[in-house]
Amino acid sequence: MTTPKGPQLALLPSAAEDAASPRAQVLQPSGWPMPKGYANGMAAEGRIVVTGGVIGWDAQERLVDGFVAQVRQTLSNIAEILADAGARPEHLVRLTWYVVDMEEYLTSLKELGKIYRAAFGTHYPAMALVQVVRLVEKAARVEIEATAVIPR
């Protein structure tokens, strides 16, 4: 019998998991430090819901002013798209954030954490953050893509 090489993975139930409705599982390799505000990986089975790049404008395509306000509106827009598919924030398995100014993001972390928890609670999917030169809408400061899996 051989011993597997590489880190061992721990499958952690998400905060919203219950026996009647299986949810996505957080993947946390043993010995790795616990990430703060995101997961290293997620595993899920079910119906996949994917958004396009969502920005911080309202239903009339008016972009709100400021980075933090745009994040708030973007997360609200994502929640609405998920709801349209019958998904909830705890079904999120991945978020990819595109920001035009990394410093603007980093200096807003505390406020962004509050906004995130208000929109999605304490469910933290796998996330990536990418700085880009600009977004299609010139005044947009952030764009987020979301992937959710609705359990069967």
**Contact, 117 vs 36, CB < 8 A?**
no
In Å, how far from its chain's centre is CA 106?
17
pLDDT digits 0-9 by tens, 31-79: 898 888 888 888 888 999 999 999 999 999 999 999 999 999 999 999 9
pLDDT digits 0-9 by tens, 109-130: 999 999 999 999 999 999 999 9
Q: H/E element holding 38?
A: none
Instruction: Read off the pTM.
Output: 0.82
CA distances from 14 to 75, 88, 96, 135 (A): 20, 13, 19, 32
Nearest-angstrom CA–CA distance, 93 and 18: 17
* Identity at 122, one-letter amino acid code: T
